[in-house]
Amino acid sequence: MELISGNRSSILFVCVCSCKHVIPHTVAPFLLSQSSRNLKICVKDLRTPHGVNLTVLLSNSVPLSLSLSASLVKFEDCQRSREVGFVSSDPNFSVRPDGTVYTEQEVVLTELAVQSPEMRLCEELKQKMKYKHNICSGVFPRRHQRGSSANGLRRQKRDWVIPPINVPENSRGPFPHMLVRIRSDQDKDVGIRYSITGAGADQPPSGIYNIDPISGNMFVTQPLDREERASFHLRAHAVDMNGNQVENPIDLYIYVIDMNDNRPEFQNQVYNGSVAEGSKPGSSVMQVTAADSDDSTTANGMVRYRILSQTPHSPIPNMFTINSETGDIVTVAAGLDREKVSQYTIIVQATDMEGNLNFGLSNTATALISITDINDNPPELTVRTFSGEVPENKVNVVVTNLTVVDRDQPHSPNWNAVYRIVSGDPSGHFTIRTNPITNEGMLTVVKPVDFEMNRAFMLTVVVSNQAHLASGIQSSLQSTAGVTISVQDVNEPPIFPVNPKMIRFEEGVPAGTTLTVFAAQDPDHFIHQIVRYSKLSDPANWLKINRTNGQITTMALLDRESIYVKNNVYEATFLAFDNGSPQASGTGTLQIYLIDVNDNAPVLVPQEAQVCERARPNSRVNITASDADADPNVGPFVFELPSFPASVRRNWTISRLSGDYAQLRLRIPYLEPGVYEIPIIVSDSGNPPLSNRSLIRVKVCPCDDNGDCSTTGAVAAAGLGTGAIIAILICIIILLSMVLLFVVWMKRREKERQAKPLLIDPEDDVRDNILKYDEEGGGEEDQDYDLSQLQQPESLEHIINKPTGVRRVDERPVIAESQYPVRPSLPHPGDIGDFINDGLRAADNDPTAPPYDSLLVFDYEGSGSTAGSVSSLNSTSSEDQDYDYLNDWGPRFKKLADLYGGGDDD
């Protein structure tokens, strides 16, 4: 079974070369060259877009003509010669001038003959042409099986062998388009049905390929896209009418020939790179990459790069170049200076077809190249000399600011300035701190300066960068400057030469004793000033100071044992001030160390003790002596009992246990219980010694078996006799009697107050009273109030039925009500004044109106208001009225009845 009908033959490919380059997809193991000049064959008229395959059919003895697998191609050599001679490289074959190929002898194509050297030549051409498809498969048939027969060699049936089928992508048709014809040599004997299977036929994506089951013609039904699928693997089947397999299935490999239908695409539209200023030519900057979806093994997918433009063109227009294959951008020339150009913008173009601008597709991207800073500019001080002034005795004061210029990257180690004082300040009075924002040097005083010692300073300052200068950059002379600092004289406070000053005196120094002269000195030598003194602190008020010369004198006795003395030292502070402007003052501390003298007699503790009435081993009192003085005016102490009264030594004895302790105990076996005051004389070791007679109250009481005083014994020992107890009881009785008398007096006064007659009826009590309204009861449930009493009565029945007597102030007399005018429903605006006057006149003549000003409702819409009159106090009527009824209104209107009713005062 063959692609082209005829005798069984081998298939060879002839490579057709152009004068400039090899046309793609033209590979063959046999190369034909021109016999005379050995020139390459040129293509004059090529109607297919991707090269030409020439097929030569070789048979054992029958010559076959040279045919084209694509469309018609005419050839001529590069010299435009019309006659071209061909020479075969295989002596078994010959090619005539008309292109006919003959076999010179009987040829048996064995596997060794096919695969070597022809297959090796095909593989070499495949690698040279950079083909990724297995174009050599199927170039030659499988080896023939050699058998024996009576006539010698016997030809064996071979399997189907179909070379790969190449179909260009994006074909415009018409469709369906025939690709190949599949035919079995048994179709003459039986009816054959052909079919194809595989992806693209009966499997997704199905319907791309189909085959005529009768003729075996296979078609492609639609345009192909190599970027979606680059190849198809189908299987062709041949069966008879009964479905029996006639031929073994044949593999069909269809390769989609790539077309240049995709532009290169950059991974980013903007690339960012950097290179240090001053870099040498050839320094790597960055890499840009573009991908092309076309076949990268062909020129369609081979991308090349080039730089279209550079902005700015400083120092030259072409500071950078790009590797056309890898996209690496490198520097071309020296002269990169960040201080002049900090960033370059480069437009990069990527073109396929190996960069052919006529046939290739292009795309562009932007590369931003930042020039990074190096320390190639040393800092420079703006002037060669700076000046400033500073007050003496001041610290942390900025004297002057040192300004500097640095063209490197701001706020970077290449820009940050570091200042140093190299001379003029051996004592370290000044330092220079860098302002991180302005990069200025702040010359600051860190150690007080003295005008009397140094009136001016001359400093030498050097400035450098935090980072070292780049190699080959020399430091500028302008990085050094001088600084002149003037010291200002200020009024300094007086200073005590020795502060604090310690002096030693014995305690007990009498008042008026001169202790020392505590004088201060004025450090302002160039100004004559007067120093005065005053006392600032004297806790015990023992001292005074002379205002003029600072002499210290005592005003009281100095006592070492005072609470104001700490560790034998008494401290007082004094103030010294001058008469400068402004006035300055200084303080000094005087410490007086007081030497102890024996001026305090010892005392005994405890002051009270308790012993049993009978002498027992534990019936004794331990006594301790203490002295406010210091050594050697303290112990060891001497303890003794006085000889008077004699009962002391007769009943008691004392013995010293140590220098500070003694023990008092009973001398006799039994002593009457009670409280005894025992005098004890104790003497210290001073020179001369001081003695003290101390009394100790000793309670003698009966004791139990444990040696503890019993309760009755303790009471008896406390000294409370019968007289004392009686006195206490009498006091209690007197106190109770006073309380009882007070209670009786209070009750009698309350009774008298209640029995005193009232001047007026409590109902008509008109005195002001305090009414408490904010008392909170138990809630609404316990408040059973008659709220109707708070409402205005609708009738006068309760007034008419009330007996004659004093009436309530909020009731009106029982008299016929006056007739008030009725306001018309639609009054004229001019009638309003007349209506008011009529109402006022009726109110003046109404005897039931209250005798005080009240609100008169002229037009009330409600349920019968009783406020039907206005007061006559403001009435303009001059008619006489009878106000005698005011006498019946109670005491509140008594005065008013006298005024208007013609009473006694009239």
- Render pLDDT for 522-532 as a digit per residue (tens, 0 to 9): 877 777 788 88
Q: What is the domain-level CATH number for residue 203?
A: 2.60.40.60
Last residue within a domain, chosen from 372, 393, 423: 372
Question: Which of 342, 372, 402 is where one domain is finished?
Answer: 372
Flag whether 100 is in a domain. Answer: yes
- What pLDDT sits at residue 23? 34
Does pLDDT of 387 surpass 60?
yes
* pLDDT class of 353 with cuts at 50, 70, 90: very high
Domain presence at residue 387: yes
The answer as to whether 728 is a domain residue is no
What is the rounded CA–CA span in Å between residue 845 and residue 841? 7
**Same domain flag for 240 and 286:** no
User: pLDDT tens digits, residue range 247-296?
Assistant: 889 999 999 998 999 999 999 999 999 999 999 999 999 999 999 999 88
Same domain, 368 and 389: no
Is residue 347 domain-shared with residue 403, that is, in the same domain? no
Instruction: Answer yes or no: is 617 within a domain.
Output: yes
pLDDT at residue 69 tops 50: no
Alpha-carbon distances of 459 from 448, 466, 583, rounded to whole Å: 16, 22, 33
The secondary structure of 338-373 as a DSSP string is: TTT-SEEEEEEEEESGGG-TTT--EEEEEEEEEEE-
pLDDT at 139: 38
556 and 460 within one domain: no
Highest mean pLDDT among 300-309, 697-706, 822-831, 848-857: 300-309
pLDDT score of 105: 63
pLDDT of residue 572: 93
Domain shared by 397 and 364, yes or no: no
| 857 pLDDT above the threshold of 60 | no
Domain tally for the chain?
A: 6
**pLDDT tens sequence across 630-666:** 788 777 888 888 888 888 888 888 888 887 888 888 8
* Within-domain flag for 889: no
pLDDT of residue 381: 92
What pLDDT digit, counting tens, does each position of 174-185 carry? 999 998 998 888
- Same domain, yes or no: 621 and 646: yes
Which residues, at least 6 apart from 860, have a Cβ–Cβ distance to it below 8 Å?
867
Average pLDDT estimate for 191-218: 92
Write phi, then psi, for 723 (nearest 5 degrees).
Answer: -65, -40
Question: Positive or negative CA dihedral for 264, 267, 268, 274?
Answer: negative
Looking at the structure, do residues 231 and 169 belong to the same domain, yes or no? yes
pLDDT (0 to 100) of residue 283: 94
Beta bridge partners of 101: 64, 95
Helix (H) or strand (E) holding 711: helix 711-717
Q: 170 with 225: CB under 8 angstroms?
A: yes
Most confident of 49-58, 213-222, 742-751, 845-854: 213-222
pLDDT of residue 25: 33
Q: Could you tell me if residue 357 is inside a domain?
A: yes
Comparing 109-123, 292-306, 576-590, 623-637, the range with the smallest average pLDDT is 109-123
Phi, psi of 348 (to 5 degrees): -110, 135
Q: What is the mean pLDDT of the chain?
A: 75
In this predicted structure, the answer to whether residue 8 has a pLDDT above a threshold of 80 is no
Domain check: are 588 and 608 in the same one? no
Same domain? For 366 and 407 the reply is no
In a domain, 15, yes or no: no
Rounded-to-integer distance, Cα 248 and Cα 906, Å = 159
- Same structural domain, 475 and 384: yes
728-737 pLDDT per residue, tens: 888 999 999 9
Q: Are strands 638-640 and 661-666 parallel, antiparallel or unpaired?
A: unpaired
C-alpha dist (Å) from residue 366 to 218, 353, 599, 684, 733: 49, 22, 104, 108, 118
Q: Residue written as tokens 């900025």?
A: 398
Q: CB-based burial of residue 829 (10 Å sphere; 0-12 exposed, 13-18 middle, 19+ buried)?
A: exposed
Mean local confidence (pLDDT), 16-32: 33
Structural domain containing residue 470 = 380-487
Give the end of a domain, one of 595, 621, 644: 595
- The pLDDT tens digits of the residues spanning 138-162 come to 333 333 333 333 344 444 444 455 7
pLDDT the model gives residue 464: 92
| pLDDT given at position 721 | 53
Residues 864-893, mean pLDDT to the nearest whole number = 59
| Residue 762: pLDDT over 60 | no
Reference 67, options 30, 102, 99; nearest CA is 99
Question: Does the N-terminal peptide bond of residue 669 adopt cis geometry, omega within 30 degrees of 0?
Answer: no
Local confidence band at 118 (pLDDT 50, 70, 90 cut-offs): very low
One domain, residues 535 and 575: yes
Residue 419 lies in a domain: yes
> pLDDT confidence of 318, banded at 50, 70, 90?
very high
Tell me: do 623 and 573 sit in the same domain. no
